[in-house]
Each structure stands twice: as structure tokens, then as C-alpha cells.
Structure 1
Amino acid sequence: MTGLDIEKDQIIEMACLITDSDLNILAEGPNLIIKQPDELLDSMSDWCKEHHGKITFYSSGSRN
């Protein structure tokens, strides 16, 4: 998400993991990056920009 406010912030990435009752991973689904306009990404808080930069989304060219 671009922040924690579900009324204004947007989803930018989602993933799926299938686990058993002990939370052992049985299957990994797709990890999808959802394209958002640069204006939305630029308006993210500093914390979000730093966090998403660490996971390579924000700084990897995924913005394009």
C-alpha cells in the first residue's frame, strides 16, 4: 500500500502463499506489482518510500 489509510491509499503490490495449518508454505502464487501513476508514488510518506525502496519496488523501474 502507499500508506495505511484505506480510504485514500492504494495497493501497489500483492502476493499469495498457500500454507498448511502449521503455516508451512505449500505453494507460492504470483507476486504482482500494480502500476500506479508517478504522482501517487511521489506522494507516499517518507516511511513508505524508504520501505518500498528496500524491497526494490519503488527504485527498480517498476514505476514505469
Structure 2
Amino acid sequence: MSTTDELSWFKSSYSGSEGDNCVEVALSPQAVHIRDSKNTEISPFAVAPAAWWAFTAHAANSSLD
């Protein structure tokens, strides 16, 4: 598995446009890595790609309610 230093991090489009509550994600074949964009020294966590896509799909649908 990749170390977090080897990953290419980007701001998640699900973070919103306010800029104050942001998460960054990095994709690898085995996992989606997630971290707080304001405190990148805290260890990120990783989930299976299918779990991330299910979470973001649910979050997108929930915001429409």
C-alpha cells in the first residue's frame, strides 16, 4: 500500500464552497484515503473505493432533501 507521502491529494468536491470545512482525498487502486485539509499531520483513514462512492452518493442525495 502507498504511504501518504506518495499519494496525490486533492480537495474533495464534496467539501463545499465555504473553504472552512474541507477534506482531501487521494485515490489508490486499493483504497480512497481521506484527511482533514487543515491538519494534514493527523493520520488519514482509508476506505474501500466502493464504500467511498456509496457514501458520497448518499451524501449527495441527502443534501437534496
TM-score w.r.t. the length of structure 1 is 0.27
Identify the structure with bigger relative contact order (alpha carbons < 8 Å, sequence gap 6+). Answer: 1
Which one has a bigger Cα radius of gyration?
1
Decide which structure has greater helix share: 2
